[in-house]
């Protein structure tokens, strides 16, 4: 408040400052007036604040300056200028009085600071209620000026609304164009989606057909591998048996040959170990319900005993002359 007061005092005309000083010299405050000085200072501060607030609010809402060919008469303009000068002088007097007055005595009570704060709060609330209930005083009361200002404000508002309408129409047109572009883009995306779905269905059909063909080809390849593996195993087995289990005529010693002839009572034409296994496997594969094979004189007893001892074959529980190949797959 003090800073604003100094600025206002400097901005006042020299005639106004001289009048204020002359009035103060002619009528200096008497001792009886010192009691009401604080109240007068409070009132001046409140009125100055209200006047400054109304002035700032009014200045922010002022329309554009009137044109040179304004319809306001010179008498009205002179009256407005007189009112403005009077208000300015009044504001200058308030500011000078605020500058020359002493600061208000602040209530201080170090023993009870809460009471001081409550008193300040009540004072501020009272001042707030006064400001709310007080109606601002119009600076201009000339109807001709107010009418001119109202017309100008309406014209400004009309121009602003026309600009807003123009912008809104342009934006609406732009939005319509953008909507059309979005619709075209959506239709293209849908066509692309349908094309992709069709290609996917065609690909699925081709994939299934290839999958079936590939499964068949895979089975054929697996069968060829198994056949080749079987032949490899049979060849390795034959080579192993020929090496370690030769023909009985080559494998038997003179003592074994005499023992075998004594047991059989005649000279038998024995088969090889390989042929024995082949007969047992053929019997098992051709007759799985009756896999037993009857032992005849062509089975060399040492080889047959080897098959039974190592668990490759087994005898029938009721007829020892029947043997079969063990179920290795179970």
Best CA proximity match to 260, nearest among 299, 296, 301 = 301
Contact 313, 326 (CB under 8 A): yes
- Per the DSSP assignment, residues forming a β-bridge with 314 are 324
Q: Please tell me which residue, 19 or 211, carries the higher pLDDT value.
A: 211
Given pLDDT bands bounded at 50, 70 and 90, which one contains residue 266? Answer: very low
Mean pLDDT taken over the chain? 76
pTM of the model: 0.33
Q: Which stretch of DSSP H or E encloses residue 322?
A: strand 322-325
Stated as kind and residue range, the H or E segment containing 230 is helix 143-244
Q: What is the CA radius of gyration of the chain?
A: 63
pLDDT at 65: 47
Neighbours of 139 (CB within 10 A): 13
What is the pLDDT, as a whole number, of residue 201?
Answer: 92
Contact indicator for 25, 91 with CB cutoff of 8 Å? no
Ramachandran region, residue 59 (left: φ > 0; alpha: ψ -120 to 50; beta: rest): alpha
Residue 109 CB partners (closer than 8 Å, separation 6+): 115, 116
Neighbour tally for 138: CB within 10 Å: 9
Contacts of 148 (CB under 8 A, 6+ apart): 66, 70, 71, 72
Give the span between the Cα atoms of 165 and 171, in whole angstroms.
10
Query: How do residues 41-62 score in pLDDT, each as one tens digit?
Result: 667 667 666 666 655 554 454 4
Q: What SS3 class is residue 314?
A: strand
Confidence of residue 199 (pLDDT cuts 50, 70, 90): very high
H-type helices in 268-315, by residue range? Answer: 273-286, 301-309
Q: Give the separation between CA 330 and CA 317, rounded to whole angstroms.
A: 20
pLDDT bin (cut points 50, 70, 90) of residue 195 is very high
pLDDT band at 329 (very low <50, low <70, confident <90, very high): low
């Amino acid at each position: 408040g003090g800073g604003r007061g100094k600025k206002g005092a400097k901005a006042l005309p020299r005639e106004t400052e001289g009048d204020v000083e002359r009035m103060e010299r002619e009528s200096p405050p008497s001792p009886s007036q010192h009691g009401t000085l604080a109240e007068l200072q409070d009132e001046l501060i409140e009125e100055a604040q209200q006047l400054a607030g109304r002035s700032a609010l009014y200045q922010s809402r002022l329309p554009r300056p009137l044109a040179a060919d304004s319809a306001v008469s010179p008498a009205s303009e002179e009256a407005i200028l007189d009112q403005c000068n009077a208000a300015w002088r009044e504001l200058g007097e308030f500011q000078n009085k605020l500058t020359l007055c002493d600061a208000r005595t602040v209530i201080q009570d170090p023993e009870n600071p809460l009471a001081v704060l409550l008193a300040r709060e009540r004072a501020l609330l009272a001042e707030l209620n006064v400001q709310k209930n007080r109606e601002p005083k119009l600076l201009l009361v000339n109807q001709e000026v107010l009418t001119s200002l109202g017309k100008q404000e309406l014209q400004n508002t009309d121009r602003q609304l026309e600009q807003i309408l123009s912008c809104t129409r342009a934006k609406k047109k732009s939005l319509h164009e953008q909507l059309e572009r979005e619709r075209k883009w959506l239709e293209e995306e849908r066509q692309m989606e349908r094309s992709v779905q069709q290609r996917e269905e065609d690909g699925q059909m081709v994939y299934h057909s290839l999958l079936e063909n590939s499964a068949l080809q895979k089975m054929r390849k697996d069968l060829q591998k198994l056949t080749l593996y079987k032949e490899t195993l049979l060849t390795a087995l034959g080579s192993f048996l020929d090496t370690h289990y030769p023909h009985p005529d080559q494998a038997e010693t003179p003592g074994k040959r005499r023992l075998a002839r004594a047991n059989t009572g005649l000279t038998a034409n024995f088969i090889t170990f390989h042929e024995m296994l082949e007969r047992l496997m053929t019997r098992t594969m051709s007759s799985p319900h009756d896999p037993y094979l009857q032992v005849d004189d062509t089975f060399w007893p040492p080889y047959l005993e080897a098959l039974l001892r190592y668990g490759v074959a087994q005898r029938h529980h009721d007829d020892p002359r029947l043997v079969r190949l063990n179920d290795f797959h179970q």
